[in-house]
Amino acid sequence: NAGVTQTPKFQVLKTGQSMTLQCAQDMNHNSMYWYRQDPGMGLRLIYYSASEGTTDKGEVPNGYNVSRLNKREFSLRLESAAPSQTSVYFCASSNLRAGELFFGEGSRLTVL
Amino acid sequence: EDKVVQSPLSLVVHEGDTVTLNCSYEVTNFRSLLWYKQEKKAPTFLFMLTSSGIEKKSGRLSSILDKKELFSILNITATQTGDSAVYLCAVEDSGGGADGLTFGKGTHLIIQP
- Chain B neighbors of A4, CB-CB under 8 A: 42
Give the closest-approach CA distance of B104 to chain A in angstroms. 6
- Contact B97/A at CB under 8 A: yes
**Contact status, residue B63 vs residue B55, Cβ threshold 8 Å:** yes
Which residues from B are below 8 Å from A42, CB to CB?
A: 4, 88, 103-106
pLDDT tops 80 at residue B3: yes
* Alpha-carbon span B67 to B89, nearest angstrom: 15
The Cα-based distances of A3 to A74, A83, B57, B96 in angstroms read: 14, 30, 25, 26
Residue B95 has pLDDT above 80, yes or no: no
State the pLDDT at residue B53: 83
Inter-chain contact B100–A45, Cβ cutoff 8 Å? yes
pLDDT in tens, chain A (112 residues): 679 999 999 999 999 999 999 999 999 999 999 999 998 888 999 999 988 889 999 989 999 999 998 999 999 999 999 999 999 999 999 986 557 889 999 999 999 9
| pLDDT beyond 90 at B21 | yes
pLDDT: which is higher, A44 or B101 = A44
Predicted local confidence at residue A98, as pLDDT: 56
Rounded to 5°, the CA angle B2-B71-B48 comes to 80
Q: How confident is the model at residue B99 (pLDDT cuts 50, 70, 90)?
A: low
pLDDT score, position A97: 59
Closest by CA to A46, choosing from A38, A32, A57, is A57
SS (H, E, C) chain A: CCCEEEECCEEEECCCCCEEEEEEECCCCCEEEEEEEECCCEEEEEEEECCCCCCEECCCCCCEEEEECCCCEEEEEECCCCHHHCEEEEEEEECCCCCCCEECCCEEEEEC
Between strands A10-13 and A107-111, the pairing is parallel
- On whether any CB of chain B is under 8 Å from the CB of A26, the answer is no
Q: What is residue A24's predicted lDDT score, i.e. its pLDDT?
A: 97
| Position B97 confidence tier, pLDDT thresholds 50, 70, 90 | low
- The residues facing A41 across adjacent strands are none
| Cα–Cα distance measured from residue A35 to residue A47, given in angstroms and rounded to the nearest whole number | 7
Q: What is the dihedral of CA A68, A36, B88, B100, to 10 degrees?
A: -30
Residue scoring higher pLDDT (B8 or B54): B8
Select from B42, B92, B99 the Cβ nearest to the Cβ of A90. Answer: B42
Q: What is the pLDDT of residue A100?
A: 84
Give the residue with greater pLDDT, B96 vs B52: B52
Closest chain B residue by Cα to residue A57:
B99
* CB nearest to B48's CB, from A4, A33, A100: A100
